[in-house]
Structure 1
């Protein structure tokens, strides 16, 4: 069991890749890499076919996946302002690693689940978790539903590919191929699994309430009162410093597990507060369909809350791991984090290393992050989705 990771920047991808490979001694061991994760800045896009083929050759990886990014993350730093390559290599004896290509046809097929399951050809009982990278310009939610229908209970951790110019072209890597649509993934089983840490960058404020009337994405009443009145009461009940922080940074958290006696960080799916109907007192949220009877709690998102959230969730993961030493980690951070959120470089990768111990880390800045909340997989924003690869 071994992993290494490296990052290098530069205008010429060949120079950057040479530097990366020189930092990874295990690549000299022929046949020693079971899984490689590759993240390359979109400035290199014209040469992606050559770049990916060269990485496949240099690593000799049995399975390679990755994608393009507008910013690239490595073991100790996040490169946001210049082109870079990050590479991670794993030797995982006793692991099951199944590379999977997912296309539009897979999610549109009338009998999609059965047809896709036959193509993947791996028993649901052999797979425990997934790494996945997807084109942001297709229905990623349908992809997550597809995986869930065939592999229920499996955590999916990853992100949506990005482009530094905000262009409609992003790129996915699988073995020695480059794709511009769909998704690439690895199903993991055997002796290893991906343990998720999904930090949505928020702090719960006020108290949990019960939704008493909702339709589509509109919450009409909370606790038999107008939703707006509950929101205003929550705001007025905050300390002055929290009021200042929450004035333009309040979101909605929907509990994903109603069987808990108490709710805390990681229990809520956080979604944007899109609008308010002053006349009816309803509030409109984005990216989720709330239901009557569901628990709701308002959330605060700002740099301080985002740091606190990631820190506390990583501490909880350290407790969960006990004496298990992580092999390495995937870090998928929203392109709205980094310098623009924290005002400092390398925040997320440094925090992971400080709290879980130095380890090989690779990742990128995403157009959206994938990870589970309450045991079910979702797409997120302003999130750090971390996949800790460790023994089961």
Structure 2
């Protein structure tokens, strides 16, 4: 039988009809009468009807094994929908690739217990690949990813933090037909498979990397022996250097995955926010703890460079996957899409050009998860592509 996979997308406004339509299309594209397991992402306008939609999808796919979450936008390999009613469904039937769903509560805000629960549920599965879909408001996603790495070592993971309507609090995780919040839903892929993973950065370096020569907690006082703010301003054109507020939402720092590294390798950095500027000390306050002698990049969120980086990533992943890819996932930051490029559909246009009608499902998330340098990491402003190959 090998692996049969298909993706369906519906933008119908009537929730139950949209769910059935997306599931039917997924099965049709898979060429299968039923699925062994599925993945579902649903946008926030359908929020009152999530449970009914999951029940309809289960019935249509013919399986109880569903994992997914809420989203501000969903996508397939050829189309993306932001801020409107939409549901995307991946259906897989395979005697070679197993998909085992899992769920853990994050209700106490401490990720260690959830990590141990996930490890318990996937104990008997092969290494394969995990897909993680956590609620980012229940526990810090970076801490959760780290704890899962301790409890389930040597298991690579991709995924994204769930999203939803920015005007309404909370996100939702899907497990079968169950809808929860303050939780982690996920999928363990195992069996006769391999995977090819790529990360594309939405923020590109402003000049060469520097080294933190004085810092305290999340405050960067000096880089390369000079006030950090002075060095940052020297990287910017005159008008922008004098009014950094105009770059809010565009200017960030890039940190290495391991602060003990001598330098940051091309494309291998974690984007973290520039929280505040301390004019008095010439310092920068960032959304991460830094350490002295750690390398650092100043990075700028900018659409043209992001497109070029995306094209290069797709080429790398395509070479790694060869002709054996059967389906895939694309986890796109909510700060990409139309807010980055000024128009929708850019990422999926490039993906479609690279991989044709390969079934790919994904959503716009609040943070992205992927392995880098031997450890699963939390990214922001990135797109993470994972192709599942036989």
TM range (shorter): 0.7 to 0.9
Instruction: Output the CA distance in 2 between the equivalents of 1:358 and 1:243.
Output: 48
Alignment of 1:25 with 2:28, yes or no, is yes
Q: Is the 8 A contact 1:155 1:372 kept in 2?
A: yes
Q: Is the 8 A contact 2:196 2:320 kept in 1?
A: no
- Give CA-to-partner distance per residue, 1:125-168, whole Å, 9 cap, x none: x3242111122321123321221012234332222222236311
Q: Unaligned 5+ residue runs, structure 2? A: none
Q: Is the 8 A contact 2:109 2:138 kept in 1?
A: no
CA gap 1:247/1:70 in 2 versus in 1, 3 angstroms: closer
Equivalence map 1:1-392=2 (5 Å): 1-23=3-25, 24-25=27-28, 29-30=32-33, 33-61=35-63, 63-104=65-106, 108=110, 117-122=119-124, 126-139=126-139, 140-164=141-165, 166-235=167-236, 248=247, 249-256=250-257, 263-265=265-267, 267-286=268-287, 288-321=288-321, 323-391=322-390
Give the RMSD, CA atoms, in angstroms. Answer: 3.1
Compute the TM-score of the two structures, normalised by the length of structure 2. 0.86
CA gap 1:244/1:205 in 2 versus in 1, 3 angstroms: farther
Q: Is the 8 A contact 1:235 1:243 kept in 2?
A: no
Instruction: Output the CA distance in 2 between the equivalents of 1:112 and 1:79.
Output: 31
- Deviation of 1:106 after TM superposition, in Å, equals 8.2
Instruction: Output the CA distance in 1 between the equivalents of 2:73 and 2:310.
Output: 20
Q: Is the 8 A contact 2:103 2:118 kept in 1?
A: no
Compute the TM-score of the two structures, normalised by the length of structure 1. 0.86
**Secondary structure of 1:142's partner?**
helix
Q: Unaligned 5+ residue runs, structure 1? A: none
CA gap 1:53/1:271 in 2 versus in 1, 3 angstroms: same
Instruction: Output the CA distance in 2 between the equivalents of 1:214 and 1:229.
Output: 15
Q: Is the 8 A contact 2:11 2:85 kept in 1?
A: yes
Q: Is the 8 A contact 1:155 1:194 kept in 2?
A: no
Instruction: Output the CA distance in 2 between the equivalents of 1:263 and 1:175.
Output: 41
CA gap 1:86/1:216 in 2 versus in 1, 3 angstroms: same
Instruction: Output the CA distance in 2 between the equivalents of 1:359 and 1:109.
Output: 35
Instruction: Output the CA distance in 2 between the equivalents of 1:331 and 1:379.
Output: 15
Range with bigger deviation, 109-118 or 35-44: 109-118
- Deviation of 1:330 after TM superposition, in Å, equals 1.6
- Alignment coverage as a number of residue pairs: 383
CA gap 1:142/1:251 in 2 versus in 1, 3 angstroms: closer
Q: Is the 8 A contact 1:34 1:61 kept in 2?
A: yes
